[in-house]
Structure 1
């Protein structure tokens, strides 16, 4: 996993719960926290930080990863704001991720392993297949919630399919998108 995501998580944790919380999470996980944006780090380190945060906050790892994804959306978007004309809604933004956002990420971070998304829109809801080597579909749920918040949209997300439950893929169902 690229260090830029760790940098954003540090920023979010420090902003929401204070710098001491970030330091405590690093201590809990026996990590030094010296993440450079271009560096590659084991996914297990983000999961360990999430588990430590879940224990400190009294919630589940999934709750923490979802919240981190939601809170990380704006800082990540700020780093990749290369769109000439930003989409006007969440429904318009989602199709741009594979074709516009991820190629920009790959220019900045060659060798990054970005997820792929397949979007289906039936009018009443959206279905987003999440395809990645990382089983971070709950983090992706949070990013979807952050995207909705960016556009002032109130949506609900759930996973009708999840590889972690033995399904063939992860499918995030989004209800309420304009």
Structure 2
């Protein structure tokens, strides 16, 4: 997993809960990296799971809720670092529909070793989209957080329903309906 995911996660934890909590979740985790991440490094996903588990214990929030919050935070990171990716789209549905065939292609140009989830579009209208998310990491709530902020960025809201297609959450159907 790309180091940027780790560094931004720890930035969010520090922003919301303080540097002491960052230190606490790192110390409680058995991290091969010792919690020293660079944005261009590559780290084992099990480290993120440990950090999330310890943050969940500290905050009493579920891992899914933490991933949702992190996805919402991460959208602002993407907007700041890659404004051209987002400004290239006129509405949130078009942006979401382009994840697989445009945005991820561009991400792989920047980070060829990135392991990205896949998003297959089943249906799309001007105000709705249904897509299948597949990832061995089962971070669909992270995706849901990014989706919420995508709609907010375009001045609207949406209903984002998750339909888990397997027991471990590595395959999820997103049913998204723009509200305003």
Range class of TM-score, shorter chain: 0.7 to 0.9
Segments of 4+ in structure 1 off by > 4 A? none
Deviation at 1:177, TM superposition (A): 4.9
Aligned to 1:142: 145
Contact kept in structure 2, 1:125 and 1:177, CA below 8 Å = no
Question: Please, which of 98, 101, 112 is the counterpart of residue 99 of structure 1?
Answer: 101
2:42 is paired with a residue of what secondary structure? coil
Structure 1: which 5+ runs fail to align? none
Contact kept in structure 2, 1:129 and 1:172, CA below 8 Å = yes
Question: Please, which of 55, 58, 61 is the counterpart of residue 56 of structure 1?
Answer: 58
CA-to-aligned-CA distance 1:23-45 (integer Å, 9 cap, x gap): 22212224422112222111111
How many Å separate the matches in 1 of 2:23 and 2:89? 37
How many Å separate the matches in 2 of 1:135 and 1:84? 24
Number of corresponding residues = 177
Aligned Cα root-mean-square deviation (Å):
2.3
TM-score (norm 2): 0.84
Contact kept in structure 2, 1:4 and 1:36, CA below 8 Å = yes
Contact kept in structure 2, 1:159 and 1:171, CA below 8 Å = yes
Deviation at 1:62, TM superposition (A): 1.1
TM-score (norm 1): 0.85
Aligned to 2:175: 173
Aligned to 2:10: 10
Structure 2: which 5+ runs fail to align? none
Is 1:152–2:155 an aligned residue pair? yes
How many Å separate the matches in 2 of 1:110 and 1:124? 33
How many Å separate the matches in 1 of 2:136 and 2:118? 10
Alignment of 1:52-91 (within 5 A): 52-83=54-85, 85-91=87-93
How many Å separate the matches in 2 of 1:85 and 1:141? 20
Question: Please, which of 119, 130, 136 is the counterpart of residue 133 of structure 1?
Answer: 136
